[in-house]
Amino acid sequence: NAGVTQTPKFQVLKTGQSMTLQCAQDMNHNSMYWYRQDPGMGLRLIYYSASEGTTDKGEVPNGYNVSRLNKREFSLRLESAAPSQTSVYFCASLPREAAYYGYTFGSGTRLTVV
């Protein structure tokens, strides 16, 4: 009964380094999302994938890329990390019947860029 699994839980990067945040869900959900959480700003959508094979930009996509590898997995890549990308990142998934279930969130990845 894993739900949404994110790895890693914590990461420290130097400016300019790259990394990929992994997200997997085992609920057969169609849609997957990446959000970042910053103090006083709530959660902001970075990218989403409404279904396997599609990805779209959210509110704050600059500096990020995503891959929907298959129905289960949706990864977020930082090609050249910047201190402004220090944040907590949450992955979420959603079944087709969105209005009736709400999102399921992962436990988050706390990223620090120095």
Partner 1 sequence: AQSVTQLDSHVSVSEGTPVLLRCNYSSSYSPSLFWYVQHPNKGLQLLLKYTSAATLVKGINGFEAEFKKSETSFHLTKPSAHMSDAAEYFCVVSLTGGGNKLTFGTGTQLKVEL
Please state the closest distance from residue 41 (CB atom) to partner 1, in A.
Answer: 6
- Angle at 10 (CA atoms; ends 103, 46), nearest 5 degrees: 45
Which helix (H) or strand (E) is 22 found in, with range?
strand 19-25
Sequence-separated (6 or more) residues with CB below 8 Å from residue 16: 80, 81
Closer CB to partner 1, residue 34 or residue 85? 34
* CA 89 – CA 106 distance, rounded (Å): 9
State in angstroms the smallest separation of the CB of 88 from partner 1. Answer: 9
Nearest CB to partner 1, comparing residues 59 and 79: 59
Least distance from partner 1 to the Cβ atom of residue 64, Å: 16
Strands 109-113 and 10-13: parallel
Nearest-CA neighbor of 107 among 12, 46, 21, 40? 21
Give whichever of 80 and 107 is closer to partner 1, judged by the CB atom.
Answer: 107
Which C-beta is closer to partner 1: that of 33 or that of 64?
33
Instruction: State the residues that interact with partner 1 by CB under 8 A.
Output: 31, 33, 35, 40-45, 48, 50, 56, 58, 90, 92, 94, 98-100, 102-108
Minimum Å gap between C-beta 15 and partner 1 is 25
